[in-house]
Structure 1
Amino acid sequence: MKAKDLDKLFDGGEEDVLQHFDLSKVRRIQFEHELIELELPKERMAELDAEASRLNMTRDQLISEWVRERLEAKPAAE
């Protein structure tokens, strides 16, 4: 099935699109996490929370996404 056909099913209201996938080959990647502490001014925290809310994400998810994007955009070491 093509992605555009799957999109049509999902957009058309089909709630269980998983039936169109072979779940026997799905695997979950286990990442180790490390807890960090981040200090920000209250104004920045409010901006961060507003952006996370706008994107329907948690603060932690947003920060993780931004860090990942920044690291992936970093030029390779020469």
Structure 2
Amino acid sequence: MKTAKEFDEAFDNGEDISEFVDWSASRRPNLEQKRVNLDLPIWMIERLDYEAKRLGVARQAIMKMFLAQHLEKAS
């Protein structure tokens, strides 16, 4: 068993720490997902699809990116 300091040092050094982690109990604070439904006009969907294709990402990714950028500016 490693101490917290040894664990942190191993992680910082890029060592494999997977044997010390219970992945079944892990979670990502503030990054949990929740599904929402959003109705948009067709012109918005077409513009989103255009931008997504231009950037080489999925529509959902471009929507998340736009929302995150807007929310960051609003903070």
Distance in structure 2 (CA, Å) of the matches to 1:23 and 1:46: 46
Distance in structure 2 (CA, Å) of the matches to 1:24 and 1:74: 39
Computed over aligned residues only, the root mean square deviation of the Cα atoms, in angstroms, reads 2.4
Within-5 A mapping of 1:1-78: 22=14, 24=16, 30=28, 31-75=31-75
Distance in structure 1 (CA, Å) of the matches to 2:15 and 2:58: 28
Residue segments in structure 1 that go unaligned for 5+ positions in a row: 1-21
What percentage of aligned pairs have identical amino acids? 25
| Gap change, CA 1:24 and 1:52, over 3 Å in 2 | same
Q: TM-score, normalised on structure 1?
A: 0.55
Deviation at 1:23, TM superposition (A): 6.4
- Counting matched residue pairs gives 53
Residue segments in structure 2 that go unaligned for 5+ positions in a row: 1-13, 18-26
Rg comparison, structure with higher value:
2
Deviation at 1:58, TM superposition (A): 0.7
Distance in structure 1 (CA, Å) of the matches to 2:73 and 2:35: 23
Distance in structure 2 (CA, Å) of the matches to 1:45 and 1:33: 22
Paired residue type of 1:35:
R
Deviation at 1:60, TM superposition (A): 0.7
Paired residue type of 1:70:
H
Deviation at 1:42, TM superposition (A): 1.4
